[in-house]
Amino acid sequence: MDNINIKVLAKKLNLSTSTISRAFSGSTDINKDTRERILAFAKEHNFLPNHYAANLRDKKTRTLAVIVPEIANDFFAQAINGIEEVARKKGFYILLYRTDDVFEKEVSFVNYLNNGKVDGIIMSVSGEANDHNYLKTLAKKNIPVVFFDRVYEDIDVSKVTTNDYESSFEATEHLISTGCKRIAYLVVNKSISIGKVRMQGYADALAKHGMVFNDELVVDCSQDEKINYSIIKNALEDLKPDGIFSSVERLAVAAYYVCNDMNISIPGDLKVVSFSSLQIAPLLGLSTVTQPAYEMGIKAATLLFDELDKKGQHVFKKTHVLKSKLFVRKSSAI
Amino acid sequence: MDNINIKVLAKKLNLSTSTISRAFSGSTDINKDTRERILAFAKEHNFLPNHYAANLRDKKTRTLAVIVPEIANDFFAQAINGIEEVARKKGFYILLYRTDDVFEKEVSFVNYLNNGKVDGIIMSVSGEANDHNYLKTLAKKNIPVVFFDRVYEDIDVSKVTTNDYESSFEATEHLISTGCKRIAYLVVNKSISIGKVRMQGYADALAKHGMVFNDELVVDCSQDEKINYSIIKNALEDLKPDGIFSSVERLAVAAYYVCNDMNISIPGDLKVVSFSSLQIAPLLGLSTVTQPAYEMGIKAATLLFDELDKKGQHVFKKTHVLKSKLFVRKSSAI
Predicted confidence pLDDT, tens digits, chain A (334 residues): 445 677 778 888 888 877 887 777 656 667 878 877 887 787 677 665 544 344 434 547 888 999 999 887 889 989 998 999 999 899 888 888 888 888 888 998 898 888 778 999 999 998 766 788 888 888 888 899 999 999 998 899 999 999 999 999 999 999 999 999 999 999 987 776 678 899 999 999 999 999 999 999 999 998 888 999 999 999 999 999 999 999 999 999 999 999 999 999 999 999 999 999 988 899 999 999 999 999 999 999 999 999 998 876 778 899 999 999 999 999 999 9
pLDDT the model gives residue B53: 42
A40 has a chain B CB within 8 A of its CB: no
Reported pTM: 0.78
Question: Does residue A55 belong to any structural domain of this protein?
Answer: no
Residue with more model confidence, B27 or A96: A96
**Quick count: other Cβ atoms within 10 Å of Cβ B12?**
14
Contact B292, B144 (CB under 8 A): no
- SS3 call for A224: coil
* Distance, CA of A126 to CA of A152 (rounded, Å): 9
Same domain, yes or no: A284 and A220: yes
Same domain, B196 and B247: yes
Q: What are phi and psi of B315, to 5 degrees?
A: -115, 125
Q: Is A33 on the interface with B (CB under 8 A)?
A: no
- What mean pLDDT do residues B105-127 have? 88
**Residue B110 forms part of a structural domain:** yes
B206 touches chain A (CB under 8 A): no
Q: Render the burial of A186-200: b for 16+ CB within 10 Å, e for the rest.
A: bbbbeebbbbbbbbe
Residues B96, B180, single domain; the answer is no
Q: Which chain A residues are closer than 8 Å to B117 by Cβ?
A: 52
Same structural domain, A156 and A119? yes
Return mean pLDDT, chain B.
88
B78 and B22 fall within a common domain: no
Task: Give me the pLDDT at residue B129, please.
Answer: 67
DSSP per-residue letters across B68-125? ES-SSSHHHHHHHHHHHHHHHHTT-EEEEEE-TT-HHHHHHHHHHHTTTT-SEEEE--
**B237 part of a folded domain:** yes
User: By percentage, how much of chain B surpasses pLDDT 90?
Assistant: 54
**Chain B partners within 8 Å of A111 (Cβ):** 47-48, 50-51
- Give the residue, B292 or A35, on which the prediction is more confident: B292
B94·A93 Cβ contact <8 A = no
User: Is the CB of B115 less than 8 angstroms away from the CB of A50?
Assistant: yes
pLDDT digits (tens, 9 = 90+) for B178-209: 999 999 999 987 776 678 899 999 999 999 99
Is B54 within a domain?
no
* Average pLDDT estimate for B129-141: 82
Instruction: Give which of B163, B144, B193, B160 is closest to B300, Cα–Cα.
Output: B160
**Count of domains observed in chain A:** 3
Strand partners, B287: B273
Q: Which of B46, B76, B74 is nearest to B286 (CA)?
A: B74
Is there a domain that residue B55 lies in? Answer: no
Q: Do A257 and B283 touch (CB under 8 A)?
A: yes
Q: Is residue A118 part of a domain?
A: yes
Top mean-pLDDT range of A18-32, A273-287, B10-24, B95-109: A273-287
- Out of A93, A116, A283, name the one closest to residue B256 (CB): A283
Q: Are residues B180 and B39 in the same domain?
A: no
User: Could you give the CA distance from residue A306 to residue A309 in angstroms, rounded to a whole number?
Assistant: 5
* Domain CATH code at residue B274: 3.40.50.2300
Contact state of B48 with A280 under an 8 Å Cβ cutoff: no
CA distance A86 to A120: 13
What pLDDT shows up at residue B28? 62
B84 shares contact with chain A (CB less than 8 Å)? yes
The confidence band for B2, taking pLDDT boundaries of 50, 70 and 90, is very low
What is the least distance, in Å, from the CA of B51 to any CA of chain A? 6
Confidence of residue B16 (pLDDT cuts 50, 70, 90): confident
Q: Are residues A191 and A262 in the same domain?
A: yes
Shared-domain flag, residues B185 and B227: yes
In a shared domain, residues A204 and A254: yes
CA dist A27 and A193 (Å) reads: 40
What is the structure's pLDDT at A46?
A: 64
ipTM of the complex: 0.74
Kindly provide the residue ranges of all beta strands, DSSP E only, lying in A76-173, ordered along the sequence.
Answer: 93-98, 120-123, 145-148, 158-162
pLDDT for residue B18 is more than 90: no
- With an 8 Å Cβ cutoff, is A36 touching chain B? no
Average pLDDT over residues B293-315: 91
Torsion angle (degrees, nearest 10) of CA B9, B14, B18, B24: -50
Domain membership of residue A54 (yes or no) is no
Q: Is A99 part of any domain?
A: yes
Q: Is B118 on the interface with A (CB under 8 A)?
A: no
- DSSP conformational letter for A267: T
On whether both A197 and A142 belong to a single domain, the answer is no
Contact partners, residue B334, CB within 8 Å, separation at least 6: B178, B179, B267
Q: How far is CA A277 from CA A30, A72, B99, B175, in A?
A: 40, 12, 22, 32
Res. B277 pLDDT band, cuts 50 70 90 = very high
- Residue B72: name the closest of A78, A101, A94, A298 by CA: A78
Listed in sequence order, the residues at least 6 apart from A13 whose beta carbon sits closer than 8 Å to its beta carbon are A20, A37, A38, A41
Is B130 touching A (CB cutoff 8 A)?
yes
Phi, psi of B270 (to 5 degrees): -145, 125
Cis peptide before A267 (omega within 30 of 0): yes
> In terms of residue numbers, what domain contains B266?
164-290+326-332
- Give residue A113's pLDDT: 86
Strand order from edge to edge, sheet including A271-275: A218-220, A183-187, A243-246, A271-275, A287-290, A325-327
Same domain, yes or no: A129 and A217 = no
The verdict on B173 and B317 lying in the same domain is: no
> Residue A102: its pLDDT value, please?
86
The pLDDT value given to residue B57: 41
Asked if A133 is an interface residue toward chain B (Cβ–Cβ < 8 A), one would say yes
